[in-house]
Amino acid sequence: MPVHFGNRKIKELYLGGRKIKEAWYGGQKVYSSVGSGVYPWHDRQDYNRGDLVHYQGLVYECIQDHQADGSKTQPGEGWDQYSYWKQVGYVRERNDIKYDPWNNGKYYYSGEIVSAKVNGVEGNYQCTSGHFASVDNRPGGFKGDQYWKFISKSSGSTPTTPPSSGGSTPSNPPSSAPSAWRAGVNYKKGDQVSIDVYGDTYRYTALTDHYSSTDSKPFYGSVENLYWEKPTKIS
């Protein structure tokens, strides 16, 4: 994410003789010196053509300069997403995937991934239970094992399976994938949907009748376990 001075692109910024990794203004990231990594998509952030982001296991390339507007431009979900992003691959295919650092005081949902330094080693950790972050429950903290599991070093490798929500996975699940899950649909008990989780496809079966929303979205929703059985991996 370069910045410009006049008509010249600035590749590096320094403050007090030290190279700056990121610069923020008004709550928005306006500069990043890290050009080799693929970072999570963020709302209200400025994106330039050619920028790469990842969201829900998929990698997208920006095709038009813009400031992110979740309902409109969010990759994979925004109503005008195709004017701003094109899918170029999967997280599992790359070794340069980056995650946001753990943030004290933030609420983390089950399945979210953060980067954190534990015992001097930078690594990626996946949340196993929703919670408000504190010093005690941070990755590597006194209660960290209750909320986080180590998945990879920060070189970029990602997990291939989602965290277990109980039960067992059939040894020979059906290979054909049902229709992809969508928000705003009246699902009936027994309905099956498919969803991508970090590049792998999983089959979910509805536990009860419900009107789908982001909160009930399989794997990603805050209360998805109330509406969906434990998934089976398709591919």
Please check the confidence at residue 28 and state whether its pLDDT lies above 60.
no
CA–CA distance, 179 with 207 (Å, rounded to integer): 17
Band (pLDDT 50/70/90 cuts) for residue 3 is low
Fold type of domain 3-93? Seminal Fluid Protein  PDC-109 (Domain B) (2.10.10)
Q: Are strands 58-62 and 52-55 parallel, antiparallel or unpaired?
A: antiparallel
Taking the domains of the chain in order of start, what are their residue ranges?
Answer: 3-93, 107-153, 167-235
Q: Please, which contacts does 115-124 make with residues 24 or more away whose CB atoms are closer than 8 Å? A: 115/154, 116/140, 118/144, 118/150, 121/153, 122/153, 122/154, 123/150, 123/151, 123/152, 123/153, 123/154, 124/99, 124/150, 124/151, 124/152, 124/153, 124/154, 124/158
Please check the confidence at residue 158 and state whether its pLDDT lies above 60.
no
Band (pLDDT 50/70/90 cuts) for residue 183 is confident
Residue 179 DSSP label: P
Band (pLDDT 50/70/90 cuts) for residue 67 is very high
CA–CA distance, 87 with 201 (Å, rounded to integer): 16
Q: Give the per-residue pLDDT at 14.
A: 67
Q: Give the per-residue pLDDT at 79.
A: 94
Please check the confidence at residue 166 and state whether its pLDDT lies above 70.
no
Band (pLDDT 50/70/90 cuts) for residue 156 is very low
Of the listed ranges 16-30, 177-191, 202-216, the least confidently predicted one is 16-30
Tokens linked to 94: 């790359």
Residue scoring higher pLDDT (27 or 115): 115
Tokens linked to 213: 């929303």
Please check the confidence at residue 171 and state whether its pLDDT lies above 90.
no
Q: Give the per-residue pLDDT at 192.
A: 92
Band (pLDDT 50/70/90 cuts) for residue 147 is very high
The pLDDT of 118-128, averaged and rounded, is: 86
Please check the confidence at residue 57 and state whether its pLDDT lies above 80.
yes
CA–CA distance, 184 with 95 (Å, rounded to integer): 35
Q: CA of 121: how far to CAs of 115, 116, 117, 192, in Å?
A: 10, 8, 5, 41
Of the listed ranges 26-35, 66-75, 82-91, the least confidently predicted one is 26-35
Band (pLDDT 50/70/90 cuts) for residue 52 is very high
Band (pLDDT 50/70/90 cuts) for residue 221 is confident
